[in-house]
Each structure stands twice: as C-alpha cells, then as structure tokens.
Amino acid sequence: MMKRIGFIGLGIMGKPMCRNLLKAGFDLTVFSRSRGNVDPIVAAGAKAAGSPKEVALLSEMVITMVPDSPEVRAVALGPDGVIEGVHPGLILADMSSIAPLASREIAAKLAEKGVRMMDAPVSGGEPKAVDGTLSVMVGADVQDFEACLPVLKAMAATVTHVGPVGAGNTAKLANQIMVAGHIAAMSEALVLAAKAGVDPEAVFKAVRGGLAGSAVLEAKAPMVLDGNFNPGFRIRLHAKDLKNVLETSRELNASLPLTAQLMEVMQALLAKGEGDADHGALIRYWEELAGVEARRRKG
C-alpha cells in the first residue's frame, strides 16, 4: 500500500485533508505558496517541500488541491512542477474542481512522461473535510483507482469511481449545479415565508423531514437563519465551478438555462463584494429584492 503521499495546496480544504492523512499514518510531504499554511501541517507531523517538483520526488502519490485549471496546470506542468519530479509509479490525484477538458489535457501531458493521473474532486465543504467525511468522485483507470483508494478513504466517507479521467470533474460539475439549485430554492422559500410574516425557522422545521429536506437544507438553513455567512464554500469558488459548467455545456451543446440564471445571481453578488461569503449568502440576492431578511426570531 502507498505510504509516501505528497499534498500541494493547503487552503480551507487542503489543511484538514492533510490532518486526516497524518492521522491515518501516511508519510506526508506538503507544499503551498503560503508558508503560513505550511507551518501548522509541519507541526502536525508533515515534511515541507520547496516546490511541486520536490513533492513529486519524495512521493508515490501526489494530491493537488488548488483553485482552478490554471493553478493545476502550473503545479503539474510548469517550471519546478510535478512533471519535473517524475519517477516510475508516480500517480497524480487532482482533487481540485476544474474543467473536465483541462483534466484530460493535463493527464495526456503527464502520460507522455509516464505519470498516471486521476481527477478526484470532492464535495462536502470544510466541515466534512475536517471530519474526514467528504464525498469523492473519481475519474481514473480502474487499477489506479483501486491503488489509491486507501489514501482517498482516509479523507472521505464515500469514494466513487465514475469513469475515465475527466469523469470525476463532470460528476463534480453536476454536483455543483444541484447544490446551487438547492440553495436558490431554499432562499426563495425562506424569503417568501419572511415576507408573509411567517417565522422562516418554523418553515425550515416544518419541511425538513419531508420531500423538501436535503443535506443542503440541513447545512445552509441554520447558517442563513443565524446570519452566519462565514465560508464554508465561497461564492466566488461556486461561480468558478458554474463557469466551468457552462463552458462544458457549450462544448457539448447542452442547454442549461437554470444554471445560467443562477450564474447571473452569483455575478450580481460578486459585483457587490460578496465573493468571499459562504454560498449560503446567495439568499441576500432574494432578500434585497423582497426587502426582508430571513433570520431566526429573537426572544
């Protein structure tokens, strides 16, 4: 079984994922552009590397968890990138959320040097990253998937093989469509309740056990009711994912009118400086239109 794991990208998701790898007993080497992100993970037992190349040289499997396609290209294929630290048996698992086409292109470049790649984006946000209960959707060769499964399970409750490279990010884009739609529907419903003078918390409690109940509702309604919009998962990152959704849909000639409309809602909030708020703050769009706030009643 693989023991030497590299991890590149120590943001909101990367740090807790690394902690869970350390708890599972893996020998971990990490790299991040910010030394402030590296130091706590080194203190927890990891080794620090000076570049993605060095991470690759010291690892059997390298995990990347960075914002978008350009960053994955840079750490995988750029100067001092993973591709410059190749050695027999190396596997790159990109757990970022990027465009499926970009995953396939990066995998093809790595394959020229004998490096296998999988795309393995996650769902669940920071709370599930901390708990080690993420959902991972993997695009990979079946043998590579099975070889990396114990590593992925150290960070996740469910790990699902969905097809070849690129399929993981296709599944993640589908996930992000549904999450955005759930948050939007919840927002409209709670704003309607508040506008009608009905306690939105009571409405949440009334519907949560029925068909309208969902993991999204359970995660986001309490935050909204408390006015807590600390990320979590930032609006600007969800907008990035919907950008990849819409670009992919155009490549495939698939019409996604609801997703396009939700992207415009996110663009309006980005223009108002809300990009670093949790995506539950989408409700602010509907609250402003209605002139109410859907908050927990005091007293």
For residue 130, give Cα distances in angstroms to 33, 119, 143, 179, 232: 22, 21, 28, 20, 11
Q: Cα separation of 285 and 230, whole Å? A: 17
Q: Cα separation of 283 and 38, whole Å? A: 34
Using alpha carbons only, what angle is made at residue 162 by residues 231 and 74, rounded to the nearest 5 degrees? Answer: 55
For residue 31, give Cα distances in angstroms to 28, 61, 134: 10, 14, 22
3-state DSSP call for residue 288?
helix
Q: Cα separation of 126 and 234, whole Å? A: 11
Closest by CA to 229, choosing from 266, 160, 283, is 283
Distance of CA 290 to the CA centre of its chain: 31
Length of the chain as a residue count: 299
Catalytic entry in 172, 243, 272, 298: 172
Active site residue 172: yes
Contact by Cβ (8 Å): 290, 194: yes
Contact by Cβ (8 Å): 96, 123: no
Using alpha carbons only, what angle is made at residue 143 by residues 138 and 144, rounded to the nearest 5 degrees? Answer: 50
Looking at the annotation, which residues are catalytic? 172
